[in-house]
Amino acid sequence: MLEIRNLCYQVEGEAGEELGILNDVSLTVEDNQFVVITGPNGGGKTTLAKTIMGLVKPTGGSITWNGTDITDLDITSRARLGISYGFQQPPRFKGLRVKDLLALAAGSEKLTREEGCQYLTKVGLCAHDYIDREVDASLSGGEVKRIEIATILARKSGLMIFDEPEAGIDLWSFAKLTETFRAIHAKRQATLIVISHQERIINLADEIVMIGDGKIQKHGPKEEIFPQILANTTAGCSYMTEGAN
Ligand SMILES: Nc1ncnc2c1ncn2[C@@H]1O[C@H](COP(=O)(O)OP(=O)(O)OP(=O)(O)O)[C@@H](O)[C@H]1O
């Protein structure tokens, strides 16, 4: 179980003022739940994901994973406890091949070529074309992104966090990816936290968390929250509700 209590992340603005990026965020995610975090741009979604992963150090509050307080643990220690994060803009590693990256992710388990290929297939990549390729600048953004998602799957983490996995991915690969998320969830293999604006991903969720202005604006079962979000997309904007005229 993931327990986030009163999490705050404040930074100093250009004029020396305090900016609250996350403001008193509390959230409990039960094991093997599929939670989608959504909300307006700049609301604080990525920052929240990064605090869970250990890439951003909160200025207040606590994060507990399966009873262990991980608030002050570094990213490596959190990864050892089974927490994985997929970047919005994944890094590339010169000299490393896709199969090496997947084997590194799988850790102590020996990863066969066939298993490596299966992970690539799950993210919509034609496995035999990619397994021996170097993870360098010759790969497109969408290819790198899918390879990174494949490494997260190979890690078999207890908590997988994906930041906008749909970004830069074509429709066919996206369909394959949503099917992979659905299958992980159906087998209750991991807790999934996915930052997304995509209806197809939101539809897979057990729960939706809507974040705006660094706060949780809404949180509840998909059946309850999703209709509210859809109804609110035009609220407050007279141009969208009344037309341009
Ligand atoms: N270190 C920082 N210093 C100043 N501002 C920051 C810092 N980190 C984040 N922000 C600001 O905090 C806000 C939240 O950023 P974050 O990336 O978490 O939003 P998001 O909800 O993931 O947005 P998007 O949907 O556009 O990806 C943004 O306005 C961002 O510019």
Is the CB of residue 18 below 6 angstroms from any atom belonging to ligand 1? no
pTM check: above 0.95: no
Class of domain 30-54+76-235: alpha beta
Sign of CA dihedral 158, 164, 165, 166: positive
Per-residue pLDDT, 109: 64
Q: Taking the domains of the chain in order of start, what are their residue ranges? A: 30-54+76-235
What is the rounded CA–CA span in Å between residue 148 and residue 123? 9
List CB contacts of 14: < 8 A, sequence separation 6 or more.
none
Q: Does residue 124 line the site of ligand 1, with CB under 6 A?
A: no
Per the CB < 8 A criterion, the answer to whether 59 and 67 are in contact is no
Question: Does the beta carbon of 11 lie inside 6 Å of ligand 1?
Answer: yes
Asked whether 10 and 181 are in contact (CB, 8 A), the reply is no
Q: Report pLDDT for 240.
A: 46
Among protein residues, the one whose CA lies closest to atom 17 of ligand 1 = 46
Structure tokens at 220: 């509840």
Q: What's the average model confidence in pLDDT over 184-190? A: 89
User: Cα separations (Å) of 83 from 150, 154, 171, 242?
Assistant: 15, 13, 28, 46
Helices (H), 156-219: 171-186, 199-202
* CA-closest candidate to residue 86, choices 184, 196, 4, 6: 196
Mutate to test the pocket of ligand 1, among 7, 8, 19, 47 (most ligand atoms within 8 A of CB): 47
pLDDT digits (tens, 9 = 90+) for 190-222: 999 999 999 999 999 999 999 999 999 999 999
Q: How far apart are CA 192 and CA 36, in angstroms?
A: 8
The predicted-structure confidence for 18-71, as pLDDT tens digits, reads as follows: 999 999 999 999 999 999 999 999 999 999 999 999 999 999 999 999 999 999
CA dist., res. 212 & res. 126, Å (int): 38
What is d(CA 160, CA 183) in angstroms, rounded to the nearest whole number?
Answer: 14
Atom of ligand 1 nearest to the CA of 39: 21
The string of pLDDT tens digits covering residues 82-139 is: 898 876 666 677 788 899 888 888 875 678 889 999 999 988 888 889 999 988 888 8
At 131, list the tokens. Answer: 């397994």
Q: Which residues pair with 192 in a beta bridge?
A: 34, 160
